[in-house]
Amino acid sequence: MAGLNIDMKSAFVGAFLFLLALYFLVPGFQADVKSLFSQGVNVNLNQNGNEVNQPVVNTGMPQYQIGTVKIKYLDYFSRDGVSGVTVEALNVPAQYTYADLKRIAQDPNRVPIATATTDSNGIAQFSNVITVGVPTLYAVRNGTAYYEDLRVLTVPVPSKEFAISTYQFPGAIFLYPIGSFKTMGTDVDASVSSKFNVTQTNSGIQFYEFTITIGENDAGKALKNPVLVIRTPDSATPLASGMIKSLYIIHESGTDFGIPVTDLKSYINGPAIRLSGSLTDDKGNVYMTIGDSGTYKVKLTWDASLAQDGNQIDIVLDDLGAYRGTTEASLQNGASPASVSISWEA
Residue 57: the pLDDT is: 39
Nearest to 148 by CA among 139, 156, 158, 136: 139
pLDDT band at 86 (very low <50, low <70, confident <90, very high): very high
pLDDT at 45 over 70: no
Cα–Cα–Cα angle for 119, 145, 186, nearest 5°? Answer: 160
The 8 Å CB, 24+ separation contacts for 163-166 are 163/61, 164/66, 165/66, 165/67, 165/68, 166/66, 166/67, 166/68, 166/69, 166/70
Average pLDDT over residues 198-213: 83
pLDDT band at 49 (very low <50, low <70, confident <90, very high): very low
- Strand extents, DSSP E, 235-345: 244-254, 273-274, 279-280, 286-288, 293-303, 312-318, 338-345
Average pLDDT over residues 13-29: 55
Average pLDDT over residues 4-25: 55
Residue 198: the pLDDT is: 73
Residue 7: the pLDDT is: 58
Higher-scoring residue by pLDDT: 202, 309: 309
Phi-psi region of 145 (alpha: psi -120 to 50; beta: other; left: phi over 0): alpha
Residue 75: the pLDDT is: 98
Residue 82: the pLDDT is: 96
Given a contact cutoff of 8 angstroms between Cβ atoms, the answer to whether 133 and 156 are in contact is: yes
Average pLDDT over residues 278-283: 94
pLDDT at 47 over 50: no
Give the pairing of strands 41-45 and 86-91.
Answer: unpaired
Mean pLDDT of the chain: 83
Residue 48: the pLDDT is: 32
Question: What is this structure's pTM?
Answer: 0.77
Given a contact cutoff of 8 angstroms between Cβ atoms, the answer to whether 165 and 68 are in contact is: yes
Share of the chain above pLDDT 70, in %: 77
**Residue 222 in 3-state DSSP?**
strand
Please report which residue ranges of 170-242 form alpha helices under DSSP H: none
**Radius of gyration (Cα) for the chain, nearest Å?**
32
pLDDT at 42 over 50: no
Q: Do domains 68-175 and 195-345 have the same CATH topology?
A: yes
Alpha carbons 117 and 124: distance in angstroms, whole number: 6
Residue 54: the pLDDT is: 33
Nearest to 221 by CA among 274, 287, 280: 287
Alpha carbons 136 and 130: distance in angstroms, whole number: 8
CATH of 195-345, one of 1.10.260, 3.40.50, 2.60.40, 3.40.470: 2.60.40
Higher-scoring residue by pLDDT: 245, 6: 245
pLDDT at 77 over 90: yes
Given a contact cutoff of 8 angstroms between Cβ atoms, the answer to whether 294 and 259 are in contact is: no
Domain boundaries, the chain: 2-40, 68-175, 195-345
Residue 149: the pLDDT is: 95
Kindly report which listed range (2-16, 102-116, 201-215, 238-252) carries the lowest average pLDDT score. Answer: 2-16
Question: What residues contact 19, with CB distance under 8 A and at least 6 apart?
Answer: none
Residue 337: the pLDDT is: 95
pLDDT at 108 over 90: yes
Is 3.40.630.10 the CATH classification of the domain at 68-175? no
Nearest to 183 by CA among 340, 5, 330: 340
pLDDT at 288 over 50: yes
Nearest to 137 by CA among 165, 98, 177: 98
Kindly report which listed range (16-20, 37-41, 311-315) carries the lowest average pLDDT score. Answer: 37-41
Given a contact cutoff of 8 angstroms between Cβ atoms, the answer to whether 276 and 232 are in contact is: no
Residue 60: the pLDDT is: 57
pLDDT band at 114 (very low <50, low <70, confident <90, very high): very high
Residue 53: the pLDDT is: 32
Average pLDDT over residues 216-230: 97
Residue 15: the pLDDT is: 58
Residue 203: the pLDDT is: 79
Residue type, 331: L
